[in-house]
Chain A
Amino acid sequence: MSEILKETSLEDKFITHFNELESRINGESKSAFHDIRKEALESFKTLGLPDKRNEEYKYTPVQRVLKKNFDFGVVGEQATLSADEIRDNYIPGLKTNTLVFINGVFSEKHSEIISKDIIIKDFNLALKENKEDIETYLAKYADYKEDAFVALNTALAENGSFIKLENNKVIEEPIALYFINDAKSKEVHSQPRNLFIAGKSSQASFIEVFKTTGEQASFTNVVTEVVVNENAHIDYFKIQNNENTSYHVGTTHVWQDRSSYFAGYTFTLSGALVRNNLNIIIDGEGCESHMFGLYLLNGSTHVDNHTAVDHRKPNSFSNELYKGILEDQSHGVFNGKVYVRQIAQKTNAFQSNKNILLSNEAIINTKPQLEIWADDVKCSHGCTTGQLDEEALFYLQSRGVGKERARVLLLYAYAAEILENIKLDPLKDYLEGLVSERLHKNF
């Protein structure tokens, strides 16, 4: 009986969060976006938090772990992080426009914008100042009617970032967003919301870094919408190297207009439970889209990458490569959807998911899902799951390389296939360092 009471209360707690938000922003509650919030809340109530019965969350029952690990009371400011503690998370040697979010809230004090030609704002402020863009783009891609976490984020959206590149602007310095959770004393939950708008023929790189400090549980439910207008060129990185008390659900939704380029890179090195959704809509001809993923899992980390690319126009190209190394009792999930609409002739779409399992207890569930209605297309997909290549191992040993060293060499080479696509050298060095450290490649 008490169990049932508790179960109903998790959704109710989020509804309480919404009511609290609504009373706090009363002046804004007449805005067009607030109507969307309300719609999203209704949708969240209808959908409910997904459990195993939901096909999309079959292997990743987020609801259960949230119930188990969180209280979800309304929390105020609690961060006690020093400037040094924050700076420790920065990617060394990389000159960036830096945005820091502590427990999901934009921290102006720790942020620094160095590029001219770019509009970077606290999401909250943009709601008031950039009404036209907000109305045109916000919540137009990430569908709050389909996914409960997107619905929840949309209902509670008030923190995050608004970033806009005007037409033809090329931003040399990447825009780095550091989402830092301070879980030293209490559990943290945050629902950051980002909107990136890239004008025609503009170019930039976005980096989202998620980091939790402290022993208490943290939950992030982030939604990022990326609008890639005609001929724009966007690189997008998501780096997750978190405490094993951190729970993360994230959706990145990309919309591409004609002749545009988008490359998404997702790196997951740790965390308790991570669910990443990366959805790309190719809505113009001559587009190029890349999805790269690398997950190195150990302990009992659970990582679920769901990607979807929707070819809605002819003559575009998409390529996906996700690779994983799983140790201990870790659990990986990959689901890759590729839709090629009937009109999208001459589409080239490639997908591959590869996994190495280093322990008998590690689990991978991988599922490619191709739905192709056009007939004149080139599409391929493949997934492999296996152990380390014994033949290769023996070959290296037979040259005098010790077994352990040979193992690391092979695993590193396997991961490097993803890393070598990164064009930003300091970022590449940083990630190579993280991967080396994880694989004990100390030579």
Chain B
Amino acid sequence: MLKIKNLHASIEGKDILNGINLEIKPGEVHAIMGPNGSGKSTLASVLAGREEYEVTDGEIEYLGKDLLDLSPEDRAREGVFLAFQYPVEIPGVSTTNFLKTAINQIREYRGQEPLDAVSFLTTMKEKMKLVEIDQALLSRSLNEGFSGGEKKRNEIFQMAMLEPKLSILDETDSGLDIDALRIVANGVNKLKTSETSTIVVTHYQRLLDYIVPDFVHVLYKGKIVKSGDKNLALELEEKGYDWIKEEVDTATA
């Protein structure tokens, strides 16, 4: 599904990603953990196509295509989805409002007929149940005055509507209470198939009790410095990151 080779990226001349290698196969869940500022969100943004980040070296292959060649909208149309760590507020644009445009542009890209109003509504109702979100919220200005939990649920709702092949969840669990966490995780799990892959960026092992990863990677200073299975997450929970930082810092010193 996704092959990242020696990825280097910078912003405003500052190197953030320093040679990332990662391969993700269909059906797999990969967790990416690591201390604040290690480059997790940068990696997610580069995958989604944010232009402020300059890719200075390396390549990304997605379903046999050169991902870096595609515009952000075409990546979405090819099945890439990013649940934002900090979803933006857009006054005057409601979720319902732009999702309809989004879905029909995606369908057009794929050579499908546009979705009529009734089918759109039916799909919406069905997906709303999945993340226990209210219609009223979806008609309001996007994220304006939403609680933290509402923002994150809205992200997963959009994911459900767009049915991506590769989902990147950037700290979707941060700040959620346990009920909201369960709802979000449950939604993600229900959307998972043997054809889809998920990258879960998180700080906390807690989420991984619900979304069980096949692999756990630790990102530090823009590099994957350690990989393992779900037990690595447990170990990090217990011991923190200092031991890894020390390992890396003494090795590079």
Contact = CB atoms under 8 A, between A and B. Distances in A.
A416 interface: yes
A392 B162 contact: no
Contacts of A416: 92
A416 B71 CA distance: 28
A443 B87 contact: no
Contacts of B101: 401, 405, 409, 443
Contacts of B162: 399-400
B88 A409 contact: no
B98 interface: yes
Interface string A409-440: 11011101100000000000000000000000
Q: Find the residue from A395, A399, A410, A413 having the highest chain B CB count within 10 A.
A: A399
Contacts of B91: 413-414, 417
A395 B73 contact: no
Contacts of A402: 73, 105
B76 interface: yes
Given A399-B99, A400-B77, A392 B88 contact: yes
Contacts of A414: 91-92
Given A400-B102, A401-B98, A391 B88 contact: yes
Given A395-B84, A398-B82, A410 B93 contact: yes
Contact of B103 (A392, A400, A409, A417): A400
Contacts of A443: 101
A370 interface: no
B115 interface: no
B116 to A, nearest CB: 15
B73 to A, nearest CB: 5
Given A396-B90, A403-B73, 6 more contacts: A394-B48, A398-B76, A399-B158, A400-B105, A402-B73, A443-B101
B49 interface: yes
Contacts of A405: 101, 105
Contacts of B76: 397-400
Contact of B71 (A389, A395, A399, A403): A403
A397 B157 CA distance: 17
Contacts of A391: 88
A400 B103 CA distance: 7
Interface of A: 389, 391-392, 394-403, 405-406, 409-410, 412-414, 416-417, 443
B73 A413 contact: no
Q: Find the residue from B84, B87, B105 having the highest chain A CB count within 10 A.
A: B105
A87 to B, nearest CB: 34
24 contacts: A391-B88, A392-B93, A394-B48, A394-B50, A394-B51, A394-B72, A395-B87, A395-B90, A396-B93, A396-B98, A398-B49, A398-B81, A399-B98, A399-B99, A399-B102, A400-B77, A401-B101, A402-B105, A403-B73, A405-B101, A406-B73, A412-B92, A414-B92, A416-B92
Interface in B29-56: 48-51
Is chain B's binding surface mostly helix, strand, loop or mixed? helix
List the 10 closest A-B pairs by CB distance, nearest first. A413-B92, A400-B76, A397-B72, A400-B106, A399-B102, A400-B102, A397-B73, A413-B93, A391-B88, A392-B90
A400 B162 CA distance: 9
Contacts of A410: 90, 93
Contact of B48 (A389, A398, A406, A409): A398
A406 B76 CA distance: 14
A392 B109 CA distance: 22
Contacts of B99: 399
A412 B50 CA distance: 23
Contacts of B87: 395
Contacts of B109: 400
A282 B182 CA distance: 56
Contacts of A392: 88, 90, 93
Nearest to A397: B72
A387 to B, nearest CB: 14
A443 B108 CA distance: 14
A403 B73 CA distance: 7
Interface of B: 48-51, 71-73, 75-77, 81-82, 84, 87-88, 90-93, 97-99, 101-103, 105-106, 109, 158, 162
A392 B102 CA distance: 14
A99 B71 CA distance: 53
A59 to B, nearest CB: 29
A344 to B, nearest CB: 31
A401 B97 CA distance: 12
A212 B103 CA distance: 42
Contact of A401 (B75, B84, B88, B102): B102
A239 B86 CA distance: 40
B12 to A, nearest CB: 14
A100 B237 CA distance: 77
Nearest to A413: B92
Contacts of A400: 73, 76-77, 102-103, 105-106, 109, 162
A417 B82 CA distance: 29
A417 B101 CA distance: 20
B90 A398 contact: no
A401 B73 contact: yes
B45 to A, nearest CB: 9
Contacts of A412: 92
Contacts of B51: 394
Q: Find the residue from B84, B87, B91, B93 having the highest chain A CB count within 10 A.
A: B93
Nearest to B83: A398
A426 to B, nearest CB: 22
Contacts of A403: 71, 73
B241 to A, nearest CB: 29
B94 to A, nearest CB: 9
A409 B71 contact: no
Contacts of B103: 400
Contacts of B158: 399
